[in-house]
């Protein structure tokens, strides 16, 4: 679970100073401006960072052009295996360049037994379904609106014991699988699932092969939350949702051995860690 952190300082000097603010609790920080950029978050693998630049600026992260909101809002994320450094370049009224030192993380190996074998070694018919559903999910995430709901912060969609964490390598019935990219909260079937931050529902499917009942919420600028394995999906595509709205119920559908909510987050094609964006589990 998240630990208390100290402010991050780059080892290099740039034409202007970039201050990275650390997220403590439920976004209970006071942002202070630097010469050109104001950011929140911690530069580490799996992290989401967000903030503001001067209006009219262009921002690139390692040569990838970032979306800048009407008020200068900008967001970007680091994946599970992000390199040790990332270059942030701002062009425009307050130009600057900064090398971010990205902290590495250690990931556990988690062995999961008793999952349906068809989800571990699917037959050709199921493989076709898996490809089709994978494209459905990618298409949903690509339709992000230009809003900035992520700026207001996130809250836990359910509360309970954490049974799985971001980045862990999973071995299903003895067969190595992909790393786990979400945080699992083990709660009873039927537990209401609430919205962690405002947004628009872009996918609502009752039964996908791997993830079962699946819901995706777009928080703006291609920042999305995905809820997996739900027994009921209660929201519809195109619906605007607010923090605390009930959008489904916990289940054990898809590749799951028991009821839990698997909460995942993405920025563009990068999978980020939801647990870094919320306070410690009560």
pLDDT at 184: 97
Predicted local distance difference test score (pLDDT) of residue 272: 98
Q: What pLDDT is stored for residue 55 in this prediction?
A: 85
78-82, 91-95, 111-115: lowest mean pLDDT where? Answer: 111-115
What is the value of pTM for the model shown?
A: 0.82
The pLDDT value given to residue 211 = 96
- Mean pLDDT to the nearest integer, 224-234: 98
φ, ψ of residue 64 to 5 degrees: the values are -95, 120
- Banded pLDDT at 30 (limits 50, 70, 90): very low
- pLDDT at res. 9: 35
Nearest to 177 by CA among 128, 114, 230, 112: 112
What average pLDDT score do residues 197-215 get?
97
- pLDDT value of residue 111: 82
H/E element, 38: strand 37-40
Mean pLDDT of the chain: 86
Residue from 117, 121, 140 nearest 238 by CA: 140
- What percentage of residues in the chain have a pLDDT greater than 90? 65
pLDDT, residue 150, reads 93
Window from 30-34, 222-226, 229-233 with minimum mean pLDDT: 30-34
Residue 23 sits at the vertex; the CA angle it makes with 39 and 97, to the nearest 5 degrees, is 25
- What's the mean pLDDT in 250-270? 95
Mean pLDDT of 150-155: 94
Q: Per-residue pLDDT averaged across 36-44, rounded?
A: 82
Tell me the average pLDDT across 31-49.
Answer: 74
For residue 206, pLDDT beyond 90 = yes
Is residue 133's pLDDT more than 50?
Answer: yes
CA distance 204 to 214: 6
Residue range 109-277, CATH number: 2.70.70.10
Give mean pLDDT, residues 190-201.
Answer: 98
- pLDDT of 36 reads 57
Q: Which of 103, 57, 59, 53 is nearest to 78 (CA)?
A: 103
């Amino acid at each position: 679970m998240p630990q208390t952190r100290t402010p991050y300082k780059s080892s290099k000097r740039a034409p202007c100073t970039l201050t990275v603010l650390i997220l403590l609790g439920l976004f209970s920080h006071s942002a202070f401006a630097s010469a050109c950029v104001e950011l929140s978050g911690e530069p580490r693998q799996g992290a989401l960072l967000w903030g503001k630049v001067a209006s009219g600026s262009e921002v690139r992260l390692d040569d990838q052009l970032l979306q800048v909101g009407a008020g200068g809002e900008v967001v970007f994320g680091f994946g599970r295996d992000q390199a040790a450094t990332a270059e942030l370049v701002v062009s425009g009224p307050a130009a600057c360049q900064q090398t971010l030192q990205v902290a590495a993380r250690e990931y556990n190996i988690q062995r999961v037994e008793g999952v349906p074998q068809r989800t571990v070694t699917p037959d050709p018919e199921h493989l076709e379904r898996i490809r089709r559903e994978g494209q459905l999910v990618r298409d949903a995430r690509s339709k992000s609106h230009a809003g900035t709901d992520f700026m207001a912060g996130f809250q836990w969609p359910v509360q309970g014991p954490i049974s799985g964490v971001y980045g862990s390598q999973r071995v299903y019935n003895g067969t190595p699988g992909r790393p786990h990219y979400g945080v699992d909260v083990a709660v009873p079937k039927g537990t209401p699932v609430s919205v962690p931050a405002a947004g628009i529902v872009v996918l609502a499917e009752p039964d996908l092969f791997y993830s079962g009942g699946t819901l995706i919420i777009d928080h703006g600028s291609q920042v999305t939350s995905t809820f997996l394995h739900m027994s009921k999906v209660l929201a519809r595509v195109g619906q605007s949702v607010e923090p605390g709205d009930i959008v489904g119920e916990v289940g054990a559908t898809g590749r799951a051995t028991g009821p839990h909510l698997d909460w995942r987050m993405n920025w563009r094609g990068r999978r980020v860690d939801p647990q870094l964006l919320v306070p410690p589990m009560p």
